[in-house]
Amino acid sequence: MKIAIITGSYPPDTCGIGDYTAQLAIALRQKGATVEVICRNNWRLNKIGNIVKTIRSVAPDIVHIQYPTAGFGKKLTPQLLSLVIPSVVTVHEISEAHILRKLSLYPFSLRSKHIVFTTPYEQRFAVLRAPWISRRSSVIPVGSSISTARQGQERNLQEIIYFGLFRPQKGLEAVFTLASLIKQRNLKLHVRMIGKPYPKDSPYFKEFYRRSEDLPVKWDMDPADDVAADLLARASIAYMPFPDGASGRRTSLLALLANGVATITTRGAHTPSSLEHAVLFSQGPEEALRLVEKMRADSVLRKRLSDNGRAYANQFSWDTIAQKHIELYEKLLG
């Protein structure tokens, strides 16, 4: 089976969906598939002919578009491509997208062979607005690009970690409010920020970095995946206040849980009930700090969350994700 995966971003680009695509390609190859990743710098509409020519030169059995990515930007070339070459399309986000982005997704619903969503909530959201895709859509969860580091290391109870991209809509405001509360109350705690800034949001990141100079905040900028895994394996408590709530499509959360980090997060409309016993939920930084103190004092609670978190994350192994893709491709090929 030969698969052409179309993506606007791919490592070393800074893009979570690009990272996902790289891991998916590896996992599919381990299942015996031949995978060609097609990633370009130019996705203007007038380049569609060259893109189609490249795809046809590969002669794939399946064309699979990953959307959106940083590299695609606001261009509609992927949508046009799905009309020219009927493809499988994975739509990684829709419910929280801007209204114009939502409208731009409709071309995918017309000729795509199949549309993959990353959570049941996202699929339901889309089917309500495009009922005709219900029979040719399904859910395949995402996985984290961060591996599970060696366990058994001593975990640090003096810090609260945040892990992921430093960009808007990731809850950084709440994390820095937590750091301010730690400073005000003169607590022997600090916040450790592990991740990297999103390039186009550099001014946003620079403002937070400037603010951190007067707060108990430490930075681990752009660590390699194995270094990041090791940092998570030595962490005890994390605070991940997603504005729209935790869900299975949050790969940064999956990386924390897979590495046994007891995590405080937020509940949203698409937070699955299966997360209830794997994390603690807070409504804001004040409550989060109370939960941090509770977790630091209760080793039984930390262990329960750590064990439950690992069990939850095990559902999102790359082997399972790749197998679900192979089964979908085989079904489509008849």
**In terms of Cα–Cα distance, which of 80, 256, 95 is closest to 162?**
256
d(CA 313, CA 300): 20
> How many structural domains comprise the chain?
2
Query: Do 227 and 271 reside in the same domain of the chain?
Result: yes
Residue 294 lies in a domain: yes
Inside any domain, residue 150? no
Q: With H, G, I as helix, E, B as strand and everything else as coil, classify residue 63.
A: strand
Q: With helix as H, strand as E and coil as C, how does 68-110 read?
A: CCCCCCCCCHHHHHHHHCCCEEEECCCCCCCHHHHHHCCCHHH
Note the pLDDT of residue 17. 93
305 and 326 together in one domain: no
Model pLDDT, residue 152: 63
307 shares its domain with 321: no
Is residue 301 included in any domain, yes or no?
yes
Residue 243: which CATH number? 3.40.50.2000
Q: Residue 280 is part of which domain span?
A: 156-316
How many Cβ atoms sit within 10 Å of the Cβ of residue 287? 13
Would you state the pLDDT for residue 270? Answer: 84
pLDDT at 149: 65
194 and 287 fall within a common domain = yes
What is the pLDDT, as a whole number, of residue 303? 95
Q: What's the confidence (pLDDT) of residue 167?
A: 85
Domain assignment present for residue 49? The answer is yes
Strands 190-197 and 217-221: parallel
pLDDT per residue of the chain (334 residues) written in tens, 0 to 9: 999 999 999 999 988 899 999 999 999 999 999 999 999 989 999 999 999 999 999 999 999 999 999 999 999 999 999 999 999 999 998 988 899 999 999 999 999 999 999 999 999 999 999 999 999 999 999 988 887 766 667 899 999 999 998 988 889 999 999 999 999 999 999 999 999 887 777 888 898 899 999 999 999 999 988 899 999 999 999 999 999 999 888 999 999 999 999 999 999 988 999 999 999 999 999 999 999 999 999 999 999 999 999 999 988 889 999 999 999 999 999 8
In a domain, 151, yes or no: no
Do 283 and 273 belong to one domain? yes
Q: Which residues does residue 280 pair with via DSSP β-bridges, in sequence order? A: 264
Side-chain-side CA neighbours of 167 within 13 Å: the count stands at 12
Residue 178 within any structural domain of the chain: yes
Residues 114, 42 share a domain: yes
Q: Do 57 and 82 have their domain in common?
A: yes
Q: 162 with 308, same domain?
A: yes
φ/ψ bin of 140: left (φ > 0), alpha (ψ from -120 to 50), beta (otherwise):
beta
Please report whether residue 27 resides in a domain.
Answer: yes
Instruction: Put the strands of the sheet holding 280-281 in their side by side order.
Output: 217-221, 190-197, 156-166, 235-240, 262-265, 280-281
> Listing from the earlier edge strand, what are the strands of the sheet with 34-39?
34-39, 2-7, 62-67, 88-91, 114-117, 137-139
Q: Please report whether residue 250 resides in a domain.
A: yes
User: Residues 167, 287: one domain?
Assistant: yes
**Which residue's entry shows tokens 């990353």?**
118
Q: Minimal CA–CA distance to 84: which of 54, 41, 127?
A: 54
Q: pTM of the entire structure?
A: 0.82
178 shares a domain with 197:
yes
Q: Cα–Cα distances in Å, from 91 out to 73, 130, 275?
A: 14, 14, 22
Statement to judge: residues 321 and 296 lie in one domain: no
DSSP string, 211-245: HGGGTTEEEEES--HHHHHHHHHTEEEEEE--TT-
Pair (77, 195) in one structural domain: no
